[in-house]
Amino acid sequence: IMYQSMLDDEMYKMKNMTGMQLSPDQIQSDEHFDLFKKYIFVDSPEKLMNMVMKYNDDYKMLVSARKAASEDINAANSSYFPTVDLVSSYVQNNPSGSAKKSDYENEFKTGVNVSLNIFNGFRNSAQESKMVASYSQAKLQIDDFLLKTRYNIDSQLSKYSAAKETYLVAERSHKNALQLTGLYEQEFQLGQESLLDLISSRNEAFQA
């Protein structure tokens, strides 16, 4: 039961790594079994980090939060600048009575309104500080995520390298065991022949 549970755990891990539904009967030790030769294990930390930054949804959310905080800072900074509005109007004059229409021509007026944000300076400064703090927090979260990810990658790659070494040692042990088994079989066959020779010679001696 214990070994069956261990086997089930390993098969589940293998399914997560390869995305393939495998059965224990498919996992063989003979040289023609090339399942893992076809599957490419990425063992470069840089490549794995690039894959995380490209495909990981948590990382994308953190980057989006940092971008939004940066845009909020820009918006807060823009509140310090004067606001300039272009104003235009068209006035149609209709003289009454005996007034000459030529003296009251229609007018097109343009003007510029300039607003200076004088009284909201403290509020804008506080808002800017708040946005800067949000940006710093978002950046720290990204840095923390990348550090933890790199640590996990290095840890898993270390386990992967150790497992590869263990597999190579086990493979050599398996080959040695097969060779020893072959030698034992040869010795057994020789022993059988020697035993038959001994029995035959004793029979001949007894008959003689």
Q: How confident is the model at residue 73 (pLDDT cuts 50, 70, 90)?
A: confident
pLDDT digits (tens, 9 = 90+) for 183-200: 777 777 776 666 666 666
Phi and psi at residue 22, to the nearest 5°: -115, 155
The two tokens of residue 134 are 């949000």
Task: State pTM to two decimals.
Answer: 0.49
pLDDT digits (tens, 9 = 90+) for 16-69: 766 777 777 766 555 556 666 666 678 888 988 998 898 888 999 999 998 988
Please determine, for residue 121, whether its predicted confidence score (pLDDT) is greater than 60.
no
Give the CA-trace dihedral at 45, 48, 50, 56, to 10 degrees. -140
Judge whether 10 lies within some domain: no
On whether residue 3 sits in a domain, the answer given is: no
How far is 47 from 153, CA to CA, in rounded Å? 10
Q: Could you count the other beta carbons within 10 Å of the beta carbon of residue 138?
A: 19
Domain span at residue 172 reads 21-81+120-207
- The phi and psi torsions of 83 (rounded to 5 degrees) equal -100, 125
Total of domains in the chain: 1
